[in-house]
Amino acid sequence: MTSRIRKLWSNPSTMRIIGIVVVALFAAGLISCATLTRVVVVPPQIPGATFVGSENCSQCHENITRDFKTASHARLHASGPNSTEIGCESCHGPGSVHSESGGARQTIVNPKKDPEACFACHLDKRGEFHLASHHPVLEGKMGCGDCHNVHKGDAILGGAFSLASERETCGKCHIAQHGPFVFEHEAIREGCTICHNAHGTVNAKLLTQRNQNLCIRCHFQQQAPGGQLLIGGRDHRQFVSKGTCWTAGCHEAVHGSQIGSLLRY
């Protein structure tokens, strides 16, 4: 855990984002200093509302606030006079109106409906969801929270520390690719993101590569005497010109098969 935190804080993108947060706080007038005027990001805005701090939220959202200590984003908590502004309200916007109204729904930002709250800090992610193939988050059909833990534990579900659960996360919605299969493709054990970028890609079906490069990084291609092109010990000379490795009639059942070990059906 500690080494992960250290990694987080020594990560240049962390430092960049923290820079952005600080600038955002400047922009919101939470830190006063005459030298910095450029507005980079503005945290979620709610007319007439001011920041009340995460402690306030705990009165009514006790469980979320209690568990939030374990969340990746809890590490963004600053100490000192500005600490209250970097907590629940960094994603939900200032909470005074919501809190005083006893929890009226329209008075607080819900990133489930509006991922802009996340893009304020993760600006690069907006572009990923605009790529040709993408999960329909901007279309409002799903939210970042369907794949990420925002309130508790690791924000990346089944990241480097539990590969099995990435499969569970994706499998909630993609039952056909989840299995179980009689003949499992062992690649799946390394997680779905070995082949897919979960946000978006320029290639169809969110694939990280559009051709056999997707496969041959694990299944080495080898030239053999007599012009043979060996992949997995078999001559593929006559197949490679037919399309991708998963073209109909080839390894169509790339996630796993109930019928044969060669993942063809």
Of residues 240-259, those binding ligand HEC (CB under 6 A): 245-246, 251, 254-255
Binding ligand HEC by CB under 6 A: which of 49, 84, 151, 201?
Answer: 151
Nearest distance from C-beta of residue 80 to ligand HEC, angstroms:
16
Under 8 Å between Cβ of 34 and 78? no
Rounded to 5 degrees, φ, ψ at 46 are: -135, 120
Residue 27 or 34: which CB sits closer to ligand HEC? 27
For residue 44, how many other CB atoms are within 10 A of its CB? 19
**156 to each of 73, 140, 214, 257, 265, how far by Cα in Å?**
11, 21, 23, 28, 32
Residue choice 84, 90, 97, 236 for contact with ligand HEC (CB under 6 A): 90
Q: Which of residues 161-220 bind ligand HEC (CB under 6 A)?
A: 166-167, 169-174, 177-178, 185-188, 190, 192-196, 198-199, 205-207, 214-215, 217-219
Nearest to 117 by CA among 96, 142, 148, 89: 89
Rank residues 11 and 34 by Cβ distance to ligand HEC and give the closer one: 11
Q: Tokens 């979960």 correspond to what residue?
A: 198
* C-alpha span between 109 and 106 (Å, rounded): 8
Rounded to the nearest 10°, the torsion over CA 203, 204, 207, 212 is: -80
137: burial class by Cβ within 10 Å (0-12, 13-18, 19+)? buried
Give 38 or 220: the residue with its C-beta nearer to ligand HEC: 220
CB of 45 to ligand HEC, least distance (A): 13
Nearer to ligand HEC, 34 or 180 (CB): 180
Q: Is 23 in the site for ligand HEC (CB under 6 A)?
A: no
- The answer to whether 229 touches 237, Cβ cutoff 8 Å, is yes
Site for ligand HEC in 38-57 (CB under 6 A): 52, 54, 56-57
Amino acid (one-letter) located at 214: L
> By CB under 6 A, what part of segment 57-86 binds ligand HEC?
57, 59-61, 64-65, 68, 72-73, 76
Nearer to ligand HEC, 34 or 176 (CB): 176
Interacting residue with ligand HEC among 33, 81, 105, 180 (CB under 6 A): 105
Give the nearest distance from C-beta 44 to ligand HEC in angstroms: 8
